[in-house]
Each structure stands twice: as C-alpha cells, then as structure tokens.
Amino acid sequence: MSDLRAETATLPSAGAAPGRADQPAAAHVTIGGPGDLGLHKKIRIGEALIQGFLFVCGAVSVLTTIGIIYVLGRESWLFFGSDEVTLGEFFLTTRWQPVIGQFGIWSLVTATLVTSFIAMLFALPVGLAIAIYLSEYASARVRGALKPILEVLAGIPTVVYGYFALTFMTPFLRTIFGYETVQIYNTASAGLVIGILILPLVTSMSEDALRAVPMSLREAAYGLGGTRLETALRVVLPAALSGISAAVIVAISRAVGETMVVAIAAGAGPNFTLNPFVAAETMTGHIVRISGGDLSYDTIDYSSIFAIGLVLFVITFGLNILSRILVARFREEYQ
C-alpha cells in the first residue's frame, strides 16, 4: 500500500520466558510511516523559478515555430485560393512574372539549387580536408592558430560576402572564362562565396565528429600497419560518418537559405537556366527584392512572397528530417 499507517507491534520483554503465566506486560513499540519521519518534498523557490524559466524558453521556441507555420500557411492559402493561380501552374511551369500573372516557381528553385550545388561543391571537399588535417595531422599549436581564423570567417557579415562576390569573385571568373561568357551578375560567383561562407560550419562539425572517434580505433589501425592517411580515410572517416552527414545537411540548409550574397551577386530577375555564368534570381533573393519595393498589402504579389517562403520552409524542413534520419542510420556507439 502506498499509504503507510502506524502499526503497533507487541514484543516480549527482555528476560521473560515464553509461555510463563507470570510474564510481565508486553512492551509496545510504535513504527511510524514516512510522514512521521519528515520525509516530504521541500519546495525550493529558486529552483522552481529556474525550472519555470527553462520551460518558458523551450515553449517560446516551439510557439515561434508554430507561429511561422501559421503565418506562412495562412498567406499561402490566400495565394493559392486566388483565381489567378493554380497548383499545376505553380509547380509545373518555369516562368515567374507575377505582374503578368505567371507563377512558375521552378525558375526560382533552379537558381537556388544551382548556387547551393556550387557552394557544396567547394565547401564539402575543402572543409572535410581541413577537418581531417585538424583532427589527424595538426599539432595543438597549429590547431590553435587555424581555429580562430575559421571563427573569423564565420563572423563576417553576409553583406560583406555579397560585395566580395561582386567586386572580386566575378572579375576573377571573367578573367578566367572570358568577359563575354561570364555576366556581371551570375550564380557561379554567388555560389563560390556561399561555399566560403559555410566552410567554417562544415569544418567545425566534421572535425568534432572525427575527434569523437575513440583513439583505440586509430591505435588498432596503426597496429595492423596502416599509415596515418589510411587510418584517417578507412577507419576514422567511416566511423564519423553520422556526424559528417549531419554537417553536410546543415550546410546545405544554410546555403539554400542564404539571402544577402545572392541578392547582391546572383542577379535580380527570375531566369530558368542551369548556366552558372548568367544572372538568375533565387527564392531568397526574390523575396528581398520584392519586399523592398512598392508592394501593396493584400495583393497577389504580396501573397506570392509567402508562397515562396513556404516552399523554402518545406525544403529546409525536409533537409533537417533527412539529417536526423542519416544520423540515426549511421550512428556508431563505442564503449
């Protein structure tokens, strides 16, 4: 029973023989429940306040996400509920000109995917190589010098990266491939600079995953005659695959959602093309350009911004789910 009651036990007195008629009166001992011993939870005001504050912080993040989904869903419902827009046109056509009633999202999606692909094409091999060097080769002194440099790259404002792409990367590409081939605004320069932007993210997360691999695996590989490079590529890298996969997915999400670099360097105008040397507008770049203009509230142009934002949200949300699946699939647990 959960409710313990006081019980009275009858115990024979010391020195009394059992069964004797002249046995003195029995001694009575009272055994009390936990409440009689004072074993109850004491309320601590400070600890309760801290627990409540932490709960509020967690609730704010959840409610913020719910609010974003609600706003995007409500405004997108108004957009898709308009007589001027159909789901087939939105998802199956390639021209985006809301002024003349053309709403093909693929011209914006294609530019976003091209810049993200170029960014990952640069950031993934370079970042992974840096992570392997920091984890397996670099001394503590070298690691201590390189890590702050990567942190500086991560702290530079993205608008600075945008003008760096426009004033340095674009002239550099035009010098290599020709002024007639590479336009002033192009997705290649924007993609390369986004790759530089997400490089610290790929490097840091990948290095953490590599350093989490137990030293015993490395020692076993060395004991079997493996070189340092063979150990890094054939033992440590596969063992850290779950963390590296998460780093890649997070970096892709960061590249897809980047705004200022593409708004400055990629171009201002939807263009359905896979050519990285011509101007094309991404989803985030289009949202920035349209929002900064003379846009009337409660119009089809205004609602189209939220429809694009909803597509962008679905893409990044899907990437986050994929990241969790990959981490769970390739996770290695060591004793």
Arithmetic mean of pLDDT, 137-157:
86
Which range in 9-13, 221-225, 260-264, 294-298 is most confidently predicted, on average pLDDT? 260-264
Are 150 and 281 in a shared domain?
A: yes
Arithmetic mean of pLDDT, 177-201:
92
pLDDT tens-digit readout, 234-248:
888 888 888 888 899
* Residue for token pair 């491939």: 177
Query: Are 182 and 165 a contacting pair, CB within 8 Å?
Result: no
Are 320 and 194 in a shared domain?
A: yes
- Is 62 among the domain residues? no
Q: Domain of 215: which CATH number?
A: 1.10.3720.10
What are φ and ψ of residue 133, in 5° steps?
-65, -45
Sign of CA dihedral 162, 165, 168, 170: negative
CB count in 10 Å sphere of residue 310: 20
Helix (H) / strand (E) containing 9: strand 7-11
> What gap in Å lies between CA 309 and CA 91, rounded to an integer?
14
pLDDT tens-digit readout, 163-173:
999 999 999 99
DSSP 139: -
- Is 61 among the domain residues? no
- Is 2 among the domain residues? no
Query: Are 127 and 300 a contacting pair, CB within 8 Å?
Result: no
Are 160 and 228 in a shared domain?
A: yes
- Under the phi-then-psi rule, with left for phi > 0, alpha for psi from -120 to 50, and beta for the rest, what region is 225? left
pLDDT tens-digit readout, 87-103:
888 888 888 888 777 88
Q: What is the pLDDT of residue 332?
A: 63
pLDDT above 70 (res 14)? no
Are 29 and 126 in a shared domain?
A: no
Q: What is the pLDDT of residue 27?
A: 46
pLDDT above 70 (res 218)? yes
Facing residues of 96 across strands? 103
Question: Tokens at residue 233, please?
Answer: 């590529």
Are 25 and 101 in a shared domain?
A: no
Are 238 and 123 in a shared domain?
A: yes
- Is 248 among the domain residues? yes
Q: What is the pLDDT of residue 227?
A: 86
Are 113 and 261 in a shared domain?
A: yes
Are 28 and 103 in a shared domain?
A: no
pLDDT above 90 coverage of the chain, percent: 33
- 279, 288, 324: which is closest to 309 by C-alpha? 288
- What's the structural domain count of the chain? 2
Query: For the whole model, what pTM was predicted?
Result: 0.79
- 114, 168, 138: which is closest to 282 by C-alpha? 114
- Is 268 among the domain residues? yes
- Is 104 among the domain residues? yes
Are 28 and 102 in a shared domain?
A: no
pLDDT tens-digit readout, 264-306:
999 888 889 899 999 999 999 988 888 776 667 777 888 888 8
pLDDT bucket at 226, cuts 50 / 70 / 90:
confident
* Structural domain span for residue 29: 7-37
